Structure 1
């Protein structure tokens, strides 16, 4: 069976025009959605910044070894070692370790379809697209649906029986405090756990599947030959979030912790590995908020450009009646879409600033006008002596 398949499709000029007009509707909806999303992002950023500032101003660092009822309901910062009487375990494969969370990562050897297309414009506005589908064997952590392949015969994948999964302890302690799932799930710092041949008896004793099982390259291997994998073979790796020191900012609720509801609107529950001071935890959160804000701004501007490009799509398709003319027109509409995205995006962000930060916005405007006036005034003063000199 060939590992490649070629498909040739042709579209008439009128068919392309109809499709491009359908893109106008999607483009308009995308632009409107991005305007709302950019506006929302500014509000989210302001609310989070205010919540973090509020939290940084009221947080109290308390010892982990003593629960003080006076701090009930308050925002507290606690640092200490995590302890637990449980061990996270993957019973299906007999793997147990001392830690907070055991993470199983499963990959199956499968057929994967790759597609590459080449489109040629034709005189009269039509186009021909040649798509070549190639097939390769690859490890994948997600099941690949071979039924959707262009050439499924000879490239069929079996169902994925084993999946990636996390195994977390149900409860742990931070000094005298109890830690539940919402805190434990926020602890990071997972480290790879190599599977050694010495664990094979325990693994075989727990495994009930029909596949041959062994150990290879620090992983559990399900299949006949790790050096020559077959479709349907599995390799299973593990990582462990170890017990260790953590730092936490949350609301003290009895002997446990819960998210702290700020007046600004956010719920604060922050966990970091290691002994991290409260001010550093808030500084990290503030930095993360700024990065997220700029990332969402950039994504919003890019999608605005896509939306405007779709709205102007019919212009390029109509011009494709002469192929080189269509390319020139698309360069122009692409540049216009970029300009419109920048103008509309920055205008939306500016309006959102006025809406969410009116005092700061007014101060910036007044400051800008004052600087402009001062520059102009100093320029006139320098100009006056020069004009007063006799010729």
Structure 2
């Protein structure tokens, strides 16, 4: 395309510096859109093919067979999560006397801190608009440190050292039937967490778990954290008031609150590949890794259907994001060509496209739409979907720009 400047519109051109910045930023947006869309479509088509063909490869787990006989196959297993030796999987935090059956133990640490809020005010004075900025401060529980060094009022100060940190403890040897679970499979377990109660009965039960299951006796009265903390409302450990430091309120800045939750070890359904006694992701014929975990008893067909549905929604989300990024990029690029006429060569002769503020958005939308769908078509063509790419996606992508150019050209010829 070759721009031709319209002298009548020259005074309304944007500043050259702003136009160049918008041009460069717009081109970057378009290039990022093309690269990300192409990669995502290639991944989506390969993954969809792999999931579609996986159903024929699925083998149901049979406890009567030797475990090694299923090595390298895509196996569907539905059973309760257990520890080594078919024992209950115990996760613990000895510092706080927590020991429960589960997959993950989640420790959440919060500190009572100052939080700054900025307030912008606009008002008129002597007919002139002025702005005023004020700050307010309130006390909140926060899991992340709030850095008071950046506060406008330095008299509000938050501690920088935390006695404890949040963390997730995972059982190191989870099993399903005769197989151990690899880290990749354990990370897919998404059973909802359950809060851990800290009432006296629960604490005594956890004391028994330390003694009988873990063989590390620890009485409730000997929990290390209780030296500086107490149990609040049977739900969390809370900092004790310091001696000779009376508090004006129930909590003081720097107090720490620690609560716990567990990912329970329940029945799960797994699609994965046994390999030397361990379940790992299965690799399909197309090179697509397949590893699925669902709560409860779920058939293999349903698991694969949900996986394809999730993939479909993610792909649509990427397409929408790519379309928005592409349109935004072209909107910036067209700022450089405002108040010019672009000459587009074609088999019918040069087509004229005037770029004006009134049609800039429509042009950006049309060009963004075309770029998005043509990139998708190119990715599908690369994956071997010739008929669908050439017969549907290319026309859908090119049609808006062709119609826009033809319309602009007819308008130009009519005015001549």
State the TM-score, normalized to the length of structure 2: 0.68
**Counterpart selection for 1:361 from 384, 388, 399:** 388
Question: Which aligned pairs between 1:278-297 and structure 2 lie closer than 5 A?
Answer: 278-297=300-319
Alpha-carbon deviation of 1:136?
Answer: 3.5
- On the 8 A contact 1:64/1:174 being kept in 2, the answer is no
Query: What is the rounded CA distance, in whole Å, between the counterparts of 2:385 and 2:320 in structure 1?
Result: 23
**Corresponding residue SS for 2:272:** strand
Residue aligning to 1:95: 98
Deviations 1:5-59 (CA, angstroms, capped at 9, x unpaired): xxxxxxxxxxx98577545433322221121101111111101101111222211
Provide the aligned C-alpha RMSD in A. 3.7
Q: Secondary structure at the match of 1:88?
A: strand
Tell me, in whole angstroms, the C-alpha distance in 1 between the residues paired with 2:168 and 2:19.
Answer: 46
CA distance in 1, matches of 2:358, 2:255: 49
Structure 1 position 245, deviation (Å)? 1.1
Report the alpha carbon displacement of residue 174 of structure 1 after superposing the two structures with TM. Answer: 1.4
How many residues of Structure 1 are paired with residues of Structure 2 in the alignment?
Answer: 334
**CA distance 1:262–1:237, change in 2 (3 Å):** same
What is residue 72 of structure 2 aligned with on the other side? 73
Match of 2:375 among 348, 358, 362: 348
Q: Residues 153 and 315 of structure 1: is their aligned pair in 2 closer, same or farther, counting only changes over 3 Å? A: farther
Q: TM-score, normalised by structure 1?
A: 0.72
Q: Tell me the SS of whatever aligns to 2:320.
A: helix
Match of 1:322 in 2: none
Distance 1:82 1:265, change over 3 A: same
Cα 1:134/1:345, change in 2 over 3 Å:
farther
Distance 1:188 1:362, change over 3 A: closer
Give yes or no for the alignment of 1:156 onto 2:134.
no
The Cα shift of 1:195 comes to 2.9
Question: Contact 1:103/1:167 (CA < 8 Å) preserved in 2?
Answer: yes
Q: Is this contact kept in 1: 2:23–2:334, CA < 8 A?
A: yes
| SS of match in other structure, 2:113 | strand
| SS at structure 2 position matched to 1:178 | strand
The residue number in structure 1 matching 2:5 is: none
Following TM superposition, by how much is the alpha carbon of 1:87 offset from its aligned partner in structure 2, in angstroms? 1.1
Equivalent residue, structure 1, for 2:277? 255
Among 209, 216, 237, the residue aligned to 1:220: 237
Secondary structure at 2:145's aligned position in 1?
A: coil
Change (3 A) 1:131 1:227: closer
Cα distance, 1:226–1:60 mapped onto 2, change above 3 Å: farther
Name stretches of at least 5 consecutive residues in structure 2 with no aligned partner: 1-14, 124-128, 208-218, 242-246, 339-355, 396-416
Return the alpha-carbon distance in structure 1 between the equivalents of residues 266 and 283 of structure 2. Answer: 28
CA deviation digits over 1:41-92, x for unaligned, max 9?
1111101101111222211111357544332211111111121244101223
What is the CA–CA distance in structure 1 between the aligned matches of 2:275 and 2:113, rounded to whole Å? 49
Q: Could you tell me which residue of structure 2 aligns to residue 323 of structure 1?
A: none
For residues 258 and 314 of structure 1, the distance between their equivalents in structure 2, rounded to whole angstroms, comes to: 53
What is the 5 A alignment of 1:1-391?
A: 21-64=20-63, 66-84=65-83, 85=87, 86-115=89-118, 133-149=135-151, 151-159=152-160, 161=162, 162-198=164-200, 199=203, 205-208=222-225, 211-216=228-233, 218-222=235-239, 224=241, 228-311=250-333, 333-334=360-361, 336-361=363-388, 364-365=391-392
Tell whether the 8 Å contact from 1:64 to 1:78 is kept in structure 2 after alignment: no
Structure 1 stretches of 5 or more lacking a match?
1-15, 121-126, 317-328, 369-391
**What secondary structure, in the 3-state scheme, does the structure 1 residue paired with 2:237 have?**
strand
Secondary structure of the residue aligned to 2:96 is coil
More displaced stretch, 71-80 vs 221-230 = 221-230
Distance apart, 1:347 and its partner CA: 2.7
Contact 2:380 2:386 in 1 (8 A): no
Structure 1's 25 and 362: CA in aligned 2 closer, same or farther, altered over 3 A? closer
Q: d(CA) in 1 for partners of 2:32 and 2:225? A: 50
